[in-house]
Amino acid sequence: MNIKLNSKNALVGAATQGIGAGIATELAKCGANVTVMARNEEKLKHFTAWLPVVHGEQKHQYLVADFSDFESFKMIIAEFFNQNEIDILVNNTNGPSPGLAKDKNVEDYQTAFDLLFKTVCETTNLALPAMIKKGSGRIINVSSLSVKEPIPNLALSNSIRSAVIAWSKTLSLEVAKHNVTINNILTGYFDTERIKNLIDHEAQQTGASIEEIKKGREEKIPMKRLGKPEEYGQLVSFLASEYASYITGTSIPLDGGLNNTY
């Protein structure tokens, strides 16, 4: 199987590091024109220049947008779609702050809703008309295993990501007749800055060492290691390809077998 995404245009959120960077890199390796979206322009410039180019017509670009400021994001993403059409949309954002449910208030949940749900919904709604008109499109949502079983200390993420899954499943049924597929990836533990930050937070709360917490997480995973961002990008590239044309409305665990231990 040789995945070729030549002439396909992809938009990838939160793409300057971690899982987003792994996704953007693998899509570029498959020949897609990739637009990377994040809030730090310097990081975007550096990362975009570094993205692989495997054929002469391939071009990459970046879009500066802050997912945590929805009103600003809404204007920026609307302007982008006024000038661009995409074939592949990867909805990925930075995660909300960790913490216990009893310590979060209504405003915290509203902030998380804006970040995780409204940005995804807005971007998807803007991408869909062109996909429907062309009769093809791929929408892939970066989600979490927490939609199957809540993860301790991630009350905001647990709550809002579940809403995204229900919404995307509903939407996938509505657009399937247009050959637009919508799938979710349920993320396990990957070697990223996000997991390091969560481990740091847990260490501060519990008094355990960072190394102890990391080893404990790895021991829970049947494969006994954290995932690599490039492994994530390889699954996204498959779902973005014609090989996945009959897969839609699914939520696929990518977790080294961890899902089976719940």
CA dist., res. 209 & res. 214, Å (int): 9
Using the predicted structure, report yes or no on whether residue 1 has a pLDDT greater than 90: no
Dihedral, 20, 21, 27, 30 alpha carbons, nearest 10: -160
Weakest mean pLDDT among 17-26, 73-82, 181-190, 199-208 = 199-208
Give the 3-state secondary structure of residue 190: strand
Asked if 186 contacts 255 with a C-beta cutoff of 8 angstroms, the reply is yes
pLDDT of res. 218: 86
Mean pLDDT on 111-132: 97
Rounded average pLDDT over 125-134:
98
Write out pLDDT tens, residues 117-126.
999 999 999 9
Phi/psi of residue 85, each to 5°?
-120, 145
Two structure tokens written together for 17? 């590091």
Percent of the chain exceeding pLDDT 90 equals: 79
The chain-wide mean pLDDT, for the chain, equals 94
Q: Are 12 and 90 in contact (CB under 8 A)?
A: yes
Residues 20-42 have pLDDT tens digits of: 999 999 999 999 999 999 999 99
Percent of the chain topping pLDDT 70: 99
The per-residue pLDDT for 134 is 97
* Pairwise CA distance, residues 133 & 105, whole Å: 42
Q: Say whether pLDDT at 262 is over 50.
A: no
Distances (CA, A) of 239 to 103, 126, 132, 224: 38, 20, 18, 26
pLDDT of residue 46: 97
Which domains does the chain show, CATH number per domain? 9-190+230-261 (3.40.50.720)
Q: CA-CA distance, 203 to 193, in Å (whole number)?
A: 15
Residues near 186 by beta carbon (within 8 Å), at least 6 away in sequence: 143, 144, 145, 147, 148, 251, 252, 253, 254, 255, 259
Nearest of 175, 189, 96 to residue 138 by alpha carbon: 175
Cα torsion 33, 7, 5, 12: sign: positive
Phi, psi of 201 (to 5 degrees): -65, -45
CA 211/CA 16 separation, integer angstroms: 26
Order of strands, edge to edge, in the sheet holding 137-144?
61-64, 33-38, 9-13, 88-91, 137-144, 180-187, 251-254
